[in-house]
Amino acid sequence: MHESTDERELVHSARGGDGQAFDELVRRHQQVAFRAAYLVLRDAQAAEDVAQDAFVRAYRGLGGFREGEPFRPWLLRIVSNLALNEVRSAGRRRGLLERFGFAAPSTEPAADRALVGGETRAEVWDAVNALPPDDRTVLYLRFFLELPEKEIAAVIGKAPGTVKSRLNRASGRLRAVIDARYPGLRPGAWQEAADE
């Protein structure tokens, strides 16, 4: 996807200190930033916080943004890194609670099953959520946010060839989880869940 001249001008103006130009960038990208964070975190409030933090960091980091590069992959890289850091931090907090004998709260909101709707979609989400965070991220970016491999490469900071191999590896792991936990789930159901 090529970035429009209009968006390049907005980025240029925002880099020059134009707050209204940056506000317009936020307006254009806030939904995809929230979705990217939510797909990793599975918690609306945490996703909103991460998306807001990502925009603050993006604004502060505009000086280091390479002019002419697309804005969305750069922003989504910030969002993904912050969301993955939050997942890792939450895991460490749960481990600490469990170590001292406290029951760790569930990180999966009860509304998740309603969000994806239907038993098949719920099973797909459960299977995706069983994967390591890096696998979930590439699958979310490709199949839930429908980013092309080139943009995914920019988001995760890897070469397009690496993205292709990570997608293949993550898809294989997802198939293994689905086969082990939900042997009756038909092939392709997880891509249909992404379309919902």
108-196: which CATH architecture?
Answer: Orthogonal Bundle (1.10)
pTM higher than 0.85, yes or no?
A: no
Nearest-angstrom CA–CA distance, 8 and 67: 8
Encode pLDDT of 2-57 as tens digits: 456 688 999 999 998 999 999 999 999 999 999 989 888 888 999 999 999 999 99
128 Cβ contact list (under 8 Å, min separation 6): 136, 139, 140, 174, 190
Q: How confident is the model at residue 114 (pLDDT cuts 50, 70, 90)?
A: very low
- Where are the chain's structural domains? 1-106, 108-196
Domain 1-106 has CATH 2.40.50.140: no
- What pLDDT was estimated at residue 189? 54
Q: Over 80: is that where the pLDDT of 156 sits?
A: yes
Encode pLDDT of 70-101 as tens digits: 899 999 989 988 988 887 765 544 443 444 34
Nearest-angstrom CA–CA distance, 21 and 23: 5
**Phi and psi torsions of 163, nearest 5°:** -60, -45
